[in-house]
Amino acid sequence: MKKTFFIFAVLIFASVSSFAGEKIKCVKETYTYPDYNGGVYTNEFYFIENFVIHPLNFAGRKYILFYKDEDTGHYSWFGQYYPTYLGDGRFSDAAYGGDPPEKLSEKTEEILYDKNDFYRILANEFYRWYLKKEAFSSDFDCLEDFIGGAMKVFSKGDLRILRNTIYAKYGYTFKSKDLNEIFSKTEWYTPKEYFSENGINRLDDCFLEIIKL
């Protein structure tokens, strides 16, 4: 009886684990600041590999994804519409009307972050800024920004997500379980019954070639 119960428990654990998603190590930094109304507010930053995720509730944005600039060690935002993150809870001067607020407290901890959630954020940012070209006036500017800065920080696993983000844009139906989970929870992905690479536009085709190289 005990042996049967043990096997049953192992099967349940394995089943739950398979749905839980793979976790990756992450350093979470939390900072507390005074606000203008006499209260306080917090800023959180999640450091994952060469990226920082900054949760944000502003103008419909749920987060900002920063990538590390190897030359300065600071973190830039895709599209360059947001101040550079300098670390230690500080942004570049463009973030403040005057002096930056004084920190009331800070906390650093190592946590586990859902890998597919991280990849979903990465896919959304790549889709928004590069595939929809929201920050660029021309295809050339878009490609130049990607090749000149952002591309250097991506790992092989990251590039797999970017490549498939392009296919997801055109409604490709994924056979891979992790890709299905990543893209099915985005707001823009709609799988189509028929998919043809002939429908991929010139800019996105250039991105595919760059990523493959």
Buried b / exposed e along 51-69 (16+ C-beta atoms within 10 A):
bbbbeeeeeeeeebbbbbb
* pLDDT for the residue 168: 96
Average pLDDT over residues 141-152: 85
Percent over 90 (pLDDT), the chain: 54
| pLDDT tops 90 at residue 190 | yes
Rg of the chain taking only CA atoms, in angstroms: 20
* pLDDT for the residue 67: 92
What's the burial of 209, exposed, middle or buried (CB within 10 Å: 0-12/13-18/19+)? Answer: exposed
How far are the Cα atoms of 43, 90, 96, 164, 185 from residue 99, in angstroms, in the given order? 17, 11, 6, 43, 39
* pLDDT for the residue 4: 44
* pLDDT for the residue 48: 95
This prediction has a pTM of 0.84
Q: Which of 28-32, 155-159, 196-200 has the lowest mean pLDDT?
A: 196-200
Query: What's the mean pLDDT when you consider all of the chain?
Result: 85
Angle between helices 156-169 and 115-126 (to 10 degrees): 60
Element (H, E) at 30: strand 23-34
| pLDDT tops 90 at residue 180 | yes
Q: pLDDT (tens digit, 9 = 90+) per residue, 95-140?
A: 676 777 889 999 999 999 999 999 999 999 999 999 999 889 899 9
What's the burial of 37, exposed, middle or buried (CB within 10 Å: 0-12/13-18/19+)? Answer: exposed
* pLDDT for the residue 28: 97
| pLDDT tops 90 at residue 16 | no
* pLDDT for the residue 58: 64
Cα maximum dimension of the chain: 70
* pLDDT for the residue 80: 67
Cα(210)–Cα(55) distance, integer angstroms: 30
